[in-house]
Structure 1
Amino acid sequence: MELVVFHGLIVAHILTGTTGAIAFWVPVIGRKGGTNHARWGRIFAYAMLATGSFAVAMSLMTLADPIGTHPHLEGQFDAAFLRGMFGWMMLHTGILTINLAWYGWLCITNKGRHAANRTWLNLGLQYLVMVAALACAVQGWLIGQPLMIGIAVVGIATGLTNLWFLHKPRVERQDWLKEHIKALVGAGISVYTAFMAFGSVRIFPEMALHPGMWSIPLIVGLAIIIWHRLAVERQARHRRQRLGAVA
């Protein structure tokens, strides 16, 4: 029965993750601020919240019974490895995905109403992701898996930078848009990393810990974030110049 439930979570995780992975590109590539951007952005955010939730559920089951939930990997990896990679690290990435999707969604929903972003849930998710990251790093150190420590750095950085913005007393007009881009593209990096890394354990086990499997989504995602943040800054600069000319 446990395996049936676990497999059901995997199917749901793949379906919602695939939906998010496809929906991700419409707002990224398409016209900003239009109807399609809003519709597909909403689909992406909901899909990421669901995907992250399924990942958390799978990670908790793995922590409780690593071999029972991954019988096909018995003999290839020991229980400590499975508990670390599919338990602690998936717990961290699941919470990170939920964190980024929710934070990014609130940024676009509240826009200039900065104080409205400081809800107990949004603030709590920042501390939760950092606790999960620390647990992931410690477990990675204990079993000698530096990738777990590396991915934990992302969670710590996410929590700290999000808290810095949330508690920032004054924000510029374009700041919420930059945070929206950072968070939701970050969620996209998370889902593609999961496909590349966790998926490889099932299909190409020998590639599971290869840095290339982890670096491709990160490099592409960072390039997207930088490109769009620069575009936001250009628009803000042009807006200030027009206002200056009028004055």
Structure 2
Amino acid sequence: MLTGMALFEALVALHVATGVVGLTAFWGPIATKKGAARHRKWGHAACYGFLGAGALAIAMALLSLYGPEHRHPEITDRALYAGLFGWMMLYLGTLTIGFVDYGLAVVKHSRNRRMLRSLRYQAVIAAVVITGAWCGIYGWQVGHPLMVLVAVIGIVSMLIQQLYIWRRTDPPRQTYIGEHFRALIGMGISAYTAFLSVGLIRLVPEHVFNPAIWAGPSVVGVSLILYFTLKGKRAAAPRASGVRPHPQ
């Protein structure tokens, strides 16, 4: 029978395996033509990898919080450890799953977004908001602003999704593409942040609480969102004005 430590290490190994698949495949949909077969294949590989990594992150977080053994005794601030590697990892795992679920769902139900109002999808969004709220509250209590920041980002993202789901009038036909894109970029941000935390504590434990390192995935992800959003607006501007773009 596996001890708590052996079980945790087994979960870490599986988390790394699924995470490597997701983290590698994540760049495929960004680099390939949107809607093409290769784009879909890379996207599915990234989503399934991140689903596995997210579920395993949740399992590791619960073991960190409630397991019988104290992992990483070199970390003396146990309250902060419980925050970052317990409640924050639990939240990031849930957030990753939430982004994957929504990113795939908006494409599946692009012709009937009201399907996203069902309990099936709303329960996942609620789980993200609840775990995010507790992550933020706990972060405030232990004086770690990073936990509050990532909680706010995730909760705001869920609220933006709800605006799309519950709006009374139907949005323009292609609006779901932007929703799909932002959700899967968010998936990458949360997964990279959670995955980084597992590696940091082993490779550079002295920097494990460095907020600059933890904020890296968010900076890159938000930059990608802004870049592709502006690029999409520039491409749509000639069509919106009735002027065809000049061929290159």
- The alignment's TM-score, normalised by the length of structure 1, stands at 0.90
Q: Could you give the per-residue CA deviations for residues 23-51 of structure 1, whole angstroms, max 9, x where no partner exists?
A: 01111011211110001101111111111
CA RMSD, 1 decimal: 2.0
* Counterparts of 1:227 and 1:75, CA distance in 2: 41
Cα separation, 2, equivalents of 1:76 and 1:34: 47
| TM value normalised by structure 2 | 0.89
Offset of 1:214 from its aligned partner? 2.0
Farther-moved stretch of structure 1 (211-220 vs 172-181):
211-220
Displacement of 1:243 after TM fit?
9.4
CA offset digits 1:98-124 (Å, max 9, x no partner): 000110011122223222222312211
Aligned to 2:61: 59
Structure 1 residue aligned with 2:73: 74
Q: Secondary structure at the match of 1:21?
A: helix
Q: Which amino acid aligns with 1:45?
A: C
The offset of 1:62, in angstroms, is 1.3
Aligned residues: 241
Moved more, 99-108 or 207-216: 207-216
Deviation at 1:241, TM superposition (A): 4.4
Quote the residue 1:196 is aligned against.
196
Task: Find the counterpart in structure 2 of residue 185 from structure 1.
Answer: 185
CA displacement 1:115-173 (0-9 Å, x = unmatched): 22223122112221111111111211222222111111112112211111111122112
User: For residue 157 of structure 1, what is the aligned residue in structure 2?
Assistant: 156
Match runs of 1:63-212 below 5 Å: 63-65=65-67, 68=69, 70=71, 73-169=72-168, 170-212=170-212
| 1:14 matched to 2:2 | no
Unaligned runs of 5+ in 2: none
Counterparts of 1:239 and 1:106, CA distance in 2: 28
CA deviation map 1:72-113 (0-9, x unaligned): x21423432222111101011011000001100111222232
SS at match of 2:215: helix
Aligned-pair identity (%): 33
